[in-house]
Chain A
Amino acid sequence: MICTSEHGRTPQIDSGPAGGARHHWSRAYSTVFAGGGIARGRVVGETDAQGGEVVDNPMSPKDMQATAYGLLGYGEETTIPDQSGRPLRISGSGRIREELLG
């Protein structure tokens, strides 16, 4: 199981007349994994004191995909052909991240 999203939210809450809000922010966000070979009870990576910048172990959504593919039996060098038959790696630049594995 992977629980993720397309980005995170700004550390600073912007207080407008209709109420406070956090705006779009992709420099740091969280994702949760479970089961199927994923480690248990582990925290990977760290953000700064404001939760705005990654200070340890940055992970891209492509790594998330590569790891999922790996656990489902398709290694990170697996390719599929695009419209012109050019082989493309299924997770693009993603790499299987050992720190997620149990």
Chain B
Amino acid sequence: MEYLSAQNTSFSYEETEDEEKLEVLHGVTLGIRKGEFVALLGHNGSGKSTLAKHFNAMLLPSGGKVYVDGLDTMDENLKLEIRRRVGLVLQNPDNQLVASVVEEDVAFGPENLGIAPPEIRRRVDEALQAVEMYDYRLNAPYKLSGGQKQRIAIAGIIAMEPDCIVLDEPTAMLDPRGRDEVLSTIHRLNREKGITVVLITHYMDEAVGADRVVVMDRGEILTQGTPREVFSQVQLLKDHQLDVPQATELVWRLRQEGFDLPECALSAEECVTALQKLLTRDF
């Protein structure tokens, strides 16, 4: 059974004085299996964040249904149960950290769930180890780098032991090293703990590592599939002003020129290997 399920989901923001009702999701149907790693791509305004916020009942559909582990998000009584299952990590780590000591920050979530102190201790230690920040447990969050802070924010979610984490552009504010740290943390949690991941990102190279890529455009799903299936559709993505990884674009453009290259190269390595097969060394 699908763990997260949007069924013909529509969403409109409330009308304001001088603006008409704005529908940002138009009947989206999407199912995500337990343990799956899904990357959600699209422009700002494509509806990808709006859709993701439906998966922990932050937003409720104006039409259609959203189910989390079979629970209807419209049922007010189930809201806590749903939030326990699906944690949300946002773009700016500074807006998500509340305490002045790292381990207290991580304990904030489980404390709110009313969990017994010894159990909280265990969960906090385990969560900090999972994001490889255990050595920093007594540090002040404000002294950490962006990537470290974001890992603390993720640990705070892990400590609530959710089945699923939804991350809304978690690396947008980080430098390349911070991006790597956060991304490898997410992948490890998915692999080792079987946590379902929904990753919203603008970075195509982050999407390449997902099990499935879903591309949103103007409130609808434009295309979806494995990274290879999606990024093979370079023309479609370009028509919608979406990027593909540079390696993919290079191979695609040379292929357009008539060279016998694979339909899709996802990484720099694949691209170099493919080119080497065609390039001669006698210059």
Do these two chains interact?
no
